[in-house]
Amino acid sequence: MKRGGIILAGAAAAGVAALAAVAQQENGDAPADGVTFRGEPVAAEEIAVGRELYAETCASCHGADLEGQADWKRRLDSGRMPAPPHDETGHTWHHSDQDLFAITKGGVEAVVPDYESDMPAFDGILSDEEIEAVLGYIKSTWPERQRAFQAEITANDEEGS
């Protein structure tokens, strides 16, 4: 009898822990899976907004599953580059948060002056908060290795500026 009681108590404790985890997920202010932007935690709610914004404003070029355009490493006849993937197979994670923000807001010319590119500038189309949400969503899809690598680049960029 005594043993059964201990097992039941254990099950109840596990149930409470599971509920707490669900409650945290539903709380919009809870950081989503450790995603940060410029070192600050990104809320799960923001990432959900970012996912929708991505589908509406980025997926047409960068792919519904962040897979990029076909043959994205080959220059187009126009001399410009196709849209690269935003998942771990691309090189979005080679750039700091600061650079990703600047590229999305101002186009690639924002970080490489006089560079000609088909990447539109979203200044005036998306607010700064919306750009952060989209980038938060993109970052939330990266595996741990890419996230850790990119977090370090972001931290170093922070020191330099």
| Contacting residues toward ligand HEC, per CB under 6 A | 57-58, 60-62, 80-84, 90-92, 100, 103-104, 108, 117-120, 122, 134
Q: How far is the CB of 128 from ligand HEC (least distance, A)?
A: 12
Q: How far is the CB of 98 from ligand HEC (least distance, A)?
A: 12
Q: How far is the CB of 160 from ligand HEC (least distance, A)?
A: 19
Taking the least distance from each CB to ligand HEC, the nearer of 29 and 116 is 116
Taking the least distance from each CB to ligand HEC, the nearer of 120 and 143 is 120
Taking the least distance from each CB to ligand HEC, the nearer of 30 and 157 is 157
Cβ distance 95 to 154 under 8 Å? no
Distance of alpha carbon 97 from alpha carbon 135, whole angstroms: 8
| Residues in the chain, total | 161
Taking the least distance from each CB to ligand HEC, the nearer of 118 and 157 is 118
Cβ distance 150 to 139 under 8 Å? yes
Backbone angles phi and psi of 121, in degrees to 5: -90, 135
Contacts of 58 (CB under 8 A, 6+ apart): 86, 134
Q: How far is the CB of 122 from ligand HEC (least distance, A)?
A: 5
Cβ distance 143 to 90 under 8 Å? no
